[in-house]
Structure 1
Amino acid sequence: MPSYSQEINVDLSPEEGEGAIKSETKDVKKEDVKYIPSEEVNNGVPAGLNADQRLAFALRDFLVDGSPNMVLEDGPSPSNLEQKLPYIDEIGDAEVETVQLDGEPPQNHETEEVLNNAACRLRRWRAASRKLRRPRIINNLSSDECNGVVKNFNVGHTDLADRLRSLAAASNMSASAGELLSLAPQPPAATAPPSPGCLLTPSLADQSAAEYFGSSPECCADSSGAKSSNSAGTPAPPPGPRYKLAIEGSVRVCCFQHTRTVVDKILAAKFFRRWETHVLCMQDDHVVSKTPSGLLERPLSYSCMQEVYCISRWDPARKYCLRIVMPHGSLLLQANDAYTRDQWYYSIVWRRNMIRYRNFLTKTVRKEVVLKELKNMVDFAMTTPLQDESVTRAPLQILTDLLAEDKDSPDWEEWAENISSVAAPLLAERCVSGELCALLARLCRRRPRSAPLPALAPPVRRVLTRNVDFGKAPDARQFVRDYISALSAQNSGHSLVRRFVEVTHGSGAACPHPRAAPNLASVALAAIDDHYRARPAPHVCHHAERDVLCFADILEHMCEYDDWLVVVGGVLQPVPLSTSALSCPHVAARLGGVLRRLASDPRCAAHGCVAHARAARPSPPSWLRAAAPTDPALALPHDQLCQLWGDMMQTLLNCCCKRKSFLQSMSRHLPDFVIVGLTEHHAALEALCLMLEWEIASGEQTQLEIIAALQGTEVGQQYYQDLCDRQQTLQRLQSQGGPRRLALPVRATDADVAAMLDAGALGNLECLSLAFTSVTSACAYHLIKLPSLRYLNLWATKFGDSGVQLIAEHLPRLQVLNLCETPVSDKGIEALSGLSSLRRLNLNSTKLSAEAFELLRRRLPHLQEYDIRYTEAW
């Protein structure tokens, strides 16, 4: 606001630039401010305007950015207004500031109305500048006469440019500044979530994930790790440094005894007023000094502060000052640098506005006013450069208090829905507390089809990606559960639930949030278990099951991602569901899809979850037992059970070639092998043949039952015929005779080893050297047929972990083993602990670790010689 000692020249001539604004200081005081327009009219200025309208048109860049269309379309946002405001009251020798006009505004009635409005505001502005009051003498700055009433900003101020910048940055416009900014339309809303009515239409399923679930920073990143950008209407903090909320610091304090006068002479004085150094502490309601004396004998209440702004004209003189206008005076706080000054400024503005918002929102009765003020608070919280835990917690606590009011009223759901929609940007950027989670869960539970689900999606993702222990946060788990139930209650609920899992995982091959999968799986399992825990054992289908089937769908959708499949398998081992849940056909059908996906995965960490494990519950201990065809706990049709059980068995038989030990542990499931074998499943038929070949099935009666099952089908007869041929070859191979030592040439392969063993009797073979050949782990199946083998040399071959595991399982009499320069690792070396007769072992140049070697030494006490050079254990 120009002071009475200034003359503002508005030159619209082309020579001086388009719309130039000149401010010159005169020595002679003038009672009125003269506005001297140029005689020439700029080409960018519409014709037929009076002097005030032309001045308003020239100042439009002061109100918005350079685009003329912005005057009619979009207003200045709080984040960029501070950078656009000029120093309209700059004194003296400063260079002439030129405001460029980008183009000619549209010539229509709306443009003329805006310019007339601007001219009216400027005339009122000039009238207010002539009403500067005389100085007042005050006794104490911190007088309690204000009593917390709303401050009146309709007064003049000499440092108007600083005032406008400060108030614009704090989103707290005074009367004069507000009139200037009212020339442009209001800025767009901070958020524009879909209305609750659109959630009822099936067309919602056709939207993209970003349109429905939002695009907060918690949206999972893509493969490059870049986060998705914020939505277009979400306010963002201004560019620049970030600050912690000031709590305590040492500043210099000076008192003004002049509140409504020009402070130019005071600011330019060589010897200023007395400065005092105080250690200020910012508390919740006021600012106090650790040494309450001098100028700060009493606390400074935030509610009594009329204005707070930085005096930027002092920055070139390295006087980093902050001015606080009180009812009876002003206070200057001087910091050591600009960063500290800005930190104190934003901290004071934050606490002052939070007190105002809290008092206003909790005491106002009109709901439309509360929603409007809540939106202002959300915008202010989103645009502040402060980054602190208390800054994050304070707005959410106010939001929680609003939702907690009148929870028993009949219109609470509609009120909570409106509040959640307005506070969507705040929920997208902040971690919600447990109390707020409980209120949002209540909204989803009571009105699932009209809850603002897009606004609640970001906090749900934050809970899933950042929660560590749901046992300490039961409200957060209930919030996620109720939100998923509300998703499934929509017309396109199934597709929404699938898309929710997709968004939570992210677009990359691996989810960037390691906690998302276990948290989501635990929420789904807890929901299923809570629903069926109190159900009777004979299951009876009812309508309420539809509310819980979406959680079984989530488990099935999670298995579509390879990185989450291992997590789901780990959560499902042992069976975490009750018997009544497994006896539900709808739940069993979805769990069957999960088990098929686990059984088809070649990774041991995935398919190993269906095998036996130490069970937390007595029944069923594993999924093999739950899906056993003889006494199934999983309510699937018989043919599907047999197929599923056979698929799981086939994967486990091929897992690390530990067939013998696995079949020994599965000997009590012989009736299941027989039933599945009668369906001509290849895995069951192969397992029955191996039981006969390795003499796992003890007793003549048991062997006859296996033979009868093999001969019951055509495929089984072929398997039994192959078994008989192998037995005859094995008897011939293991018959007495043949050499004791044998070494194959360098070019030998697995086929050469098989042909050599089929050629004649090798029952006396004790030493076999395959060093520097091209054999792999596939030849281990032939080597285990040599009962007298004591020495095996595999130096510089491609023999891997699976072959070592098979040898360790079938050749317990092996005494010397050379694995030098082979690709074996700790996984295969640990299996050698079962060779109790091993005396010499060469692990030179392998992937042996120190931990695996120490474990091997403890389990092989008779090991006499070993070579571990060029390994990690060396």
Structure 2
Amino acid sequence: MPSYSQEINVDVNSNDDNAFKAKINENKNDQVKYMATDVANNGAPEGLNADQRLAFALRDFLGPANMVLADDGPSPSSIEQPMPFIDETVDTEDLMQSEEEPTQNHETDEVLNNAACRLRRWRAASRKLRRPRIINNLSAEDECNGVVKTFNGGHTDLADRLRSLAAASNMSASAGELLSLAPPPPAATAPPSPGCLLTPSLADQSCAEYFGSSPECCADSSGFKSNNTAGVPLPPPGPRYKLATEGALRVCCFQHTRTVVDKILGAKFFRRWETHILSLLEDHVVSKTPSGLLERPISYSCMQEVYCISRWDPARKYCLRIVMPHGSLLLQANDAYTRDQWYYSIVWRRNIIRYRNFLTKSVRKEVVLKELKNMVDFAMTTPLQDESVTRAPLQILTDLLSENKDGQDWEEWAENVTSVAAPLLAERCVNGELCALLARLCQRRPRSAPLPALAPPVRRVLTRNVDFGKAPTARQFVRDYISALSAHNSGKNLVRRFVQVTHGSGAACPHPRAAPNLASVALAAIDDRYREDCSPHRCDDSELEVLCFADILEHMCEYDDWLVVVGGVLQPVPFSAGAMKCPRVAARLGAVLERLASDPRCAAHTCVAPARAARPSPPSWLRVTAPSDPALSLPHKQLCQLWGDMLKTLLACCCKRKSFLQSMSKHLPDFVIVALTEHPAALEALCLMLEWEVASGEQTQLEIIAALQGTELGQRYYKDLCERQQTLQRLQAQGGPRRLALPVRATDADVAALLDAGALGNLECLSLAFTSVTSACAHHLIKLPSLRYLNLWATKFGDSGVQLIAEHLPRLQVLNLCETPVSDKGIEALSGLSSLRRLNLNSTKLSAEAFEILRQRLPQLQEYDIRYTEAW
């Protein structure tokens, strides 16, 4: 590119038409200034003649290079692709002039000769199209604040641009619009035939774009944000259509050649129109009223070209043209939407038939893979949204994978086909047969399977509402995919990354079915391995393929929203005895139980306790990890710590109740064993058994006392218990008032101090209305065995406190819970108060079902207030 400005006067005289002479003379003096830029800094060789300098200046039009305009003039850049050599005669004067100048490189001469020849072709094309202003538009000056603009041409040949511009009747296009002119829209031209769709190759795309459960990018792409538009063909912008099956259209048929039809169209003249109700079948188009022009069906294979007519007479618009071997068929719709719907539907059925016939009959694998990619691109770019649009390409893919399944090279063939069809698998739901084929590929070639292509359908199976009972192949596909992930050298990191991406980057997973489906796949894999393993366990290498599923359960517990789901799935214990005898599986299950035991939410930590409606077998996790007879193969010290941690969370939240300790009375040896390790939870539980008289029998009480006095920490707990018992006996012996009402400012601490300091052993009536007490004071209220009347109006007394007083105050006759936050969970516990006569549940969360149950269990209830509740 020369460093100086070069002026080029382009004079194109197309013909003698007077209509264009004035426009040519007006633009004849327009100048094109080529400015040197940073993009193209290679100077032109010296010693060029005028035509060669002009060709060198316009060489950007030769290939798919960027066009830089300065002052709206094209600035040439480096030529990326060499053009084929074209012989050209050189004038004698030019030859003599070139001999005197330095000898140029043969490659430079080749490029410049081709440029000059191409320039002459441009001029001839512009004259033939009778559009002399097109070339002038290329040199039109349109400076925008002196900024050099860059345009990426959609065509590689100016002649194609000129033809497209002429077809679109855009006579006033600027230079930038002409250079960046895209191909005609789908509604105005026929779709590409199979083999002509231009999309980036799958091999040029990064595996992270399909998401990262691939071995190449899972471990190192934690911060990667997937871009769905990168490397994946997208449908054109605009409306979406359902696949047309039937409709009324007007039909006109011409039994002439294309040239005659074009002339008739240009003359805006038609002869015969008929109205038919057309039906698009699998192989042909038929009319429900077969007569006239559509007396016979029209096969899709006979259609040479299908496209919409963009320019038309206002009275004859919304037309669709189907080119046949011996004529053309015109279909007219009522609106543009219906016309486009029929256009895309016909194109879809026509191309799918062509792809199916070609892919099933072709022998060369490289040709099949190329056409398969074209079919995938076509299926991804169609604006149709219909079930058949999804089903047809996947069925063709299934047929390709089903061929020669027993052959020696099937695995390699399946890998190539799956890699090519990766965009289709990422956007469409795979069927059962295809799931079985993909699972077979993962089983046979786990280390070389195209995992990036298989990751999207696996996530789609997990995130959708899939019934694995009716679709076992889907669960097997997910299982084999996870096994293939773990078979790599960095299998643990890949499995963790897979769980992380399945959950998502947010605090909560957007797919509610992902956690149950993933947990069920892991449980099924572990159960299949250890179901019939009844002999003494011995660890071997065959367990390595199952440990990844135990790792999945452990990784799922790292997310708070999934922890509740995992706990619910694992209650009661779903594992076989052989699985829990394996130390490596038990270690991972122990980590899951530690996470459940440390979670403060009731929905999580109550999953380790026995369920009320659960059968005796399988047991709960408290029974499985019992130190006296453990079913989980963990070290004794770790078992004691785990059992104590689970008990600690339960007693600190929702299980510090007499009924829970009574249900755990059979585990007294476990309490004693854990208490001897000085675990605070076991010591507290033994003290509560003595205080609430859960342990029946003198021998049992002596065992508990011996266990408490066996350690230094246990002696302190027993001493505190003795002091509480002496205080309670003193309160009951001293008598005191029978009625008591606390002021409005009273809190839980005031209630505790009052009961510890005063003589309230004979207190029968207590009013805490409008105070700030909560369920925490229930532990002090149960020390009043003579209490008959309790008023908790407008307090923060909740379900846990109501459950506690219902178990320890059996003589309670009147209870006022008006305007308290109690719900059905706490109200149902009141059914154990057989002496209750009056109950106020005004403005609570009582439901009609809970109230009916309460009335059936309390037949002696005389008065009740349920106003402003659901039961009212």
Normalising TM by the smaller chain, what interval?
0.7 to 0.9
**Cα displacement string for residues 797-842 of structure 1 (whole angstroms, at most 9, x for unaligned residues):** 2322222221112111111111223333333223222222111112
1:512 maps to which of 510, 513, 516: 510
Q: Contact between 1:732 and 1:760, CA under 8 Å: does it hold in 2?
A: no
Q: Contact between 1:674 and 1:684, CA under 8 Å: does it hold in 2?
A: yes
- Amino acid of the structure 2 residue aligned with 1:601: D
Q: CA separation of 1:25/1:233 partners in 2, compared to 1, >3 Å: closer, same or farther?
A: farther
Structure 1 residue 856: Cα displacement: 2.7
Question: C-alpha distance in 2, partners of 1:200/1:857?
Answer: 57
Asked whether 1:759 is paired with 2:730, we answer no
Question: C-alpha distance in 2, partners of 1:813/1:351?
Answer: 81
Q: CA separation of 1:318/1:732 partners in 2, compared to 1, >3 Å: closer, same or farther?
A: farther
Question: C-alpha distance in 2, partners of 1:24/1:591?
Answer: 91
Q: Pick which of 794-803 and 386-395 moved more.
A: 794-803
Q: CA separation of 1:39/1:124 partners in 2, compared to 1, >3 Å: closer, same or farther?
A: closer
- Tell me what 1:435 maps to: 433
- Tell me what 1:252 maps to: 250
What's the secondary structure of 1:807's corresponding residue?
helix
**Cα displacement string for residues 293-346 of structure 1 (whole angstroms, at most 9, x for unaligned residues):** 111111111111111111111175551111111111111111111111111111
Structure 1 residue 541: Cα displacement: 0.5
Question: C-alpha distance in 1, partners of 2:57/2:187?
Answer: 21
1:189 maps to which of 181, 201, 204: 201
Asked whether 1:42 is paired with 2:40, we answer no
Structure 1 residue 633: Cα displacement: 0.6
- Tell me what 2:75 maps to: 104
Structure 1 residue 772: Cα displacement: 2.5
Q: CA separation of 1:616/1:835 partners in 2, compared to 1, >3 Å: closer, same or farther?
A: closer
Question: C-alpha distance in 1, partners of 2:479/2:313?
Answer: 54
What's the secondary structure of 2:645's corresponding residue?
helix
- Tell me what 1:207 maps to: 220
Would you say how many aligned residue pairs link Structure 1 and Structure 2?
773
- Amino acid of the structure 2 residue aligned with 1:105: P
- Tell me what 2:464 maps to: 466
1:160-559 matched pairs, under 5 angstroms: 161=167, 165-166=185-186, 171-172=191-192, 187-189=199-201, 192=204, 204-209=217-222, 215=226, 229-269=227-267, 271-314=269-312, 316-317=314-315, 319-559=317-557
What's the secondary structure of 2:253's corresponding residue?
strand
Q: CA separation of 1:205/1:334 partners in 2, compared to 1, >3 Å: closer, same or farther?
A: closer
- Tell me what 1:779 maps to: 777
What's the secondary structure of 2:296's corresponding residue?
coil
- Tell me what 1:665 maps to: 663
Q: Contact between 1:747 and 1:774, CA under 8 Å: does it hold in 2?
A: yes
Structure 1 residue 195: Cα displacement: 7.7
- Tell me what 2:67 maps to: 68
Q: Contact between 1:615 and 1:621, CA under 8 Å: does it hold in 2?
A: no
Q: CA separation of 1:519/1:170 partners in 2, compared to 1, >3 Å: closer, same or farther?
A: farther
Structure 1 residue 612: Cα displacement: 1.2
Question: C-alpha distance in 2, partners of 1:737/1:323?
Answer: 104
Structure 1 residue 651: Cα displacement: 1.7
What's the secondary structure of 1:735's corresponding residue?
helix
Q: Pick which of 365-374 and 662-671 moved more.
A: 365-374
**Cα displacement string for residues 251-296 of structure 1 (whole angstroms, at most 9, x for unaligned residues):** 1111112223143441244651201111111111110111111111
Structure 1 residue 849: Cα displacement: 3.5
- Tell me what 1:575 maps to: 573
Structure 1 residue 752: Cα displacement: 2.3
Q: CA separation of 1:174/1:416 partners in 2, compared to 1, >3 Å: closer, same or farther?
A: closer
Q: CA separation of 1:170/1:596 partners in 2, compared to 1, >3 Å: closer, same or farther?
A: farther
- Tell me what 1:4 maps to: none
Q: Pick which of 102-111 and 307-316 moved more.
A: 102-111
Q: Contact between 1:158 and 1:261, CA under 8 Å: does it hold in 2?
A: no
What's the secondary structure of 1:261's corresponding residue?
helix
Question: C-alpha distance in 2, partners of 1:565/1:22?
Answer: 78
- Tell me what 2:698 maps to: 700
Structure 1 residue 616: Cα displacement: 7.4
Question: C-alpha distance in 1, partners of 2:115/2:371?
Answer: 26
Structure 1 residue 361: Cα displacement: 1.1
Structure 1 residue 650: Cα displacement: 1.4
**Cα displacement string for residues 81-116 of structure 1 (whole angstroms, at most 9, x for unaligned residues):** xxxxxxxxxxxxxxxxxxx97742314474766994
- Amino acid of the structure 1 residue aligned with 2:456: P
Asked whether 1:590 is paired with 2:582, we answer no
Q: CA separation of 1:118/1:110 partners in 2, compared to 1, >3 Å: closer, same or farther?
A: farther
- Tell me what 1:855 maps to: 853
Structure 1 residue 167: Cα displacement: 9.3
Question: C-alpha distance in 2, partners of 1:274/1:58?
Answer: 51
Question: C-alpha distance in 1, partners of 2:83/2:31?
Answer: 17
Q: Which has the higher contact order (CA 8 A, sep 6+)?
A: 1
Question: C-alpha distance in 1, partners of 2:213/2:264?
Answer: 65
| Structure 1: segments with no counterpart, 5+ residues | 1-11, 28-36, 71-99, 131-156, 216-228
- Tell me what 1:721 maps to: 719
Q: CA separation of 1:602/1:539 partners in 2, compared to 1, >3 Å: closer, same or farther?
A: same
What's the secondary structure of 1:312's corresponding residue?
coil
- Amino acid of the structure 1 residue aligned with 2:820: T
Question: C-alpha distance in 2, partners of 1:602/1:746?
Answer: 31
Q: CA separation of 1:625/1:465 partners in 2, compared to 1, >3 Å: closer, same or farther?
A: same
TM-score scaled to structure 2, two decimals?
0.81
Q: Identity of aligned pairs, percent?
A: 77
- Tell me what 1:140 maps to: none
Q: CA separation of 1:199/1:870 partners in 2, compared to 1, >3 Å: closer, same or farther?
A: closer
Structure 1 residue 203: Cα displacement: 6.8
Q: Contact between 1:620 and 1:626, CA under 8 Å: does it hold in 2?
A: no
Q: Contact between 2:530 and 2:578, CA under 8 Å: does it hold in 1?
A: yes
- Tell me what 2:134 maps to: none
Q: CA separation of 1:526/1:21 partners in 2, compared to 1, >3 Å: closer, same or farther?
A: farther
Question: C-alpha distance in 2, partners of 1:190/1:343?
Answer: 30
Question: C-alpha distance in 2, partners of 1:534/1:565?
Answer: 29
Question: C-alpha distance in 1, partners of 2:451/2:256?
Answer: 54
Question: C-alpha distance in 2, partners of 1:482/1:21?
Answer: 71
Question: C-alpha distance in 2, partners of 1:307/1:847?
Answer: 70
Question: C-alpha distance in 2, partners of 1:379/1:671?
Answer: 68
When the two chains are superposed, the root-mean-square deviation of aligned CA atoms in Å is 3.9
TM-score scaled to structure 1, two decimals?
0.81
Structure 1 residue 56: Cα displacement: 13
| Structure 2: segments with no counterpart, 5+ residues | 1-5, 20-26, 36-43, 85-110, 129-162, 169-182
Q: Contact between 2:199 and 2:377, CA under 8 Å: does it hold in 1?
A: no
Q: Contact between 2:675 and 2:682, CA under 8 Å: does it hold in 1?
A: yes
- Tell me what 1:144 maps to: none
Q: Contact between 2:190 and 2:307, CA under 8 Å: does it hold in 1?
A: no
**Cα displacement string for residues 358-392 of structure 1 (whole angstroms, at most 9, x for unaligned residues):** 11111111111111111111111111111110001
Structure 1 residue 537: Cα displacement: 3.1
**Cα displacement string for residues 408-461 of structure 1 (whole angstroms, at most 9, x for unaligned residues):** 111111111111111111111111111111111111111111111111111100
- Amino acid of the structure 1 residue aligned with 2:192: N
- Tell me what 1:612 maps to: 610
Question: C-alpha distance in 2, partners of 1:41/1:119?
Answer: 22
